[in-house]
């Protein structure tokens, strides 16, 4: 009768394999190309100019009552009506700048995806 055992006389210890897990953070792709492709700087500039222009127009109309006096009287504590309208003008300018920048960037991204 023949010996039906397989040859299992190989090494019992397996050679160490290099680890696939590392503690290194993978390199991130540069985002400057994306920012340039989406024209974010140009969009931000247009947004800021639009926001400031809108805030200045609204401030001038309200403070100098260019379309007539506002009905009713109100009390404006600490900094008076001009100060409060300056603060509101800043908020309006910031929000408008953000909205215009985001809208222009989305339009640019849409156009770039249509070209692909």
Compute the distance between CA of residue 37 and CA of residue 50 in angstroms, rounded to an integer: 22
Q: Is the pTM of this model over 0.85?
A: no
Model confidence at 20: pLDDT above 80: no
DSSP 36-98: HHTTHHHHHHHHHHHHHHHHHHHHHHHHTTTT-PPSS----TTTHHHHHHHHHHHHHHHHHHH
Q: What is the mean pLDDT of residues 36-51?
A: 94
Compute the distance between CA of residue 54 and CA of residue 100 in angstroms, rounded to an integer: 12
pLDDT digits 0-9 by tens, 69-106: 666 667 777 887 788 888 999 999 999 999 999 999 99
What pLDDT is recorded for position 85? 84
Could you tell me if 97 and 47 are in contact, meaning their C-beta atoms sit under 8 angstroms apart? yes
């Amino acid at each position: 009768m023949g010996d039906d055992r397989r040859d299992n006389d190989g090494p019992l210890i397996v050679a160490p394999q290099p680890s696939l897990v590392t503690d290194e953070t993978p390199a991130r792709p540069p985002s400057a190309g994306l920012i340039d492709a989406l024209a974010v700087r140009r969009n931000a500039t247009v947004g800021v100019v639009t926001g400031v222009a809108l805030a200045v127009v609204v401030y001038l109309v309200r403070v100098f009552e260019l379309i007539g006096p506002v009905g009713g009287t109100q009390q404006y504590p600490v900094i008076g009506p001009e100060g409060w309208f300056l603060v509101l003008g800043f908020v309006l300018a910031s929000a408008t700048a953000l909205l215009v920048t985001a809208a222009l960037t989305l339009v640019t991204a849409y156009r770039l995806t249509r070209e692909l």
